């Protein structure tokens, strides 16, 4: 399989994950989405990615939820946790802290402080 074809496979996988952020996403789901076997998908993904599929999915969910945390400060962290497919806010807090080394609450406050400082510096 060519590198271009593998890049398209990973891009299509990322698109699928983006569309399904609020669901639990499995190897079977993404393999079915690109119409290849789980074994073949896993082999290709491992060959052309520096992350496992699970790490890839988690990273995308954490990055998107972090943006959502900052942009939508009126929405509770629990609501955001469920929006991004977590079974509880506790699981989300643990995953977020593992990814960013800071809790979602602290992250939100820190981003708000940065935004306020930028506005006052202008």
- Judge if 21 and 70 occupy the same domain: no
pTM of the complete model: 0.83
Instruction: Tell me what percent of the residues of the chain surpass a pLDDT of 90.
Output: 63
Select from 11, 27, 49 the last residue of a domain: 49
Tens of pLDDT along 23-68?
Answer: 889 999 999 999 999 999 999 888 888 899 999 999 999 999 999 9
Query: In the prediction, which pLDDT does 48 show?
Result: 82
- Judge if 30 and 16 occupy the same domain: yes
- Judge if 31 and 86 occupy the same domain: no
- Judge if 107 and 80 occupy the same domain: yes
- Judge if 78 and 105 occupy the same domain: yes
- Judge if 39 and 61 occupy the same domain: no
Q: In 3D, which of 58, 68, 52 has the Cα closest to residue 98?
A: 58
Residue 94 domain boundaries: 52-122
Tens of pLDDT along 4-16?
Answer: 887 888 889 889 9
How far, in Å, are 34, 55, 60, 69, 117 from residue 52 at the CA level? Answer: 17, 5, 12, 25, 38
Q: What is the mean pLDDT of the chain?
A: 90
Tens of pLDDT along 70-102?
Answer: 999 899 999 999 999 888 999 999 999 999 999
Select from 11, 32, 49 the last residue of a domain: 49
- Judge if 41 and 69 occupy the same domain: no
């Amino acid at each position: 399989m060519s590198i271009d074809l593998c890049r398209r496979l990973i891009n299509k996988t990322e698109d699928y994950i983006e569309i399904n952020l609020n669901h639990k996403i499995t190897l079977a789901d993404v393999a079915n989405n690109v119409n290849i076997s789980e074994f073949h998908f896993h082999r290709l993904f491992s060959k052309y990615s520096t992350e496992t599929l699970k790490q890839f999915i988690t990273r995308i969910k954490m990055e998107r939820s972090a943006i959502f945390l900052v942009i939508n400060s009126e929405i509770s962290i629990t609501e955001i946790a469920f929006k991004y497919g977590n079974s509880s806010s506790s699981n989300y807090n643990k995953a977020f802290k593992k990814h960013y080394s800071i809790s979602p609450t602290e992250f939100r406050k820190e981003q708000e402080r940065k935004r306020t400082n930028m506005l006052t510096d202008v």
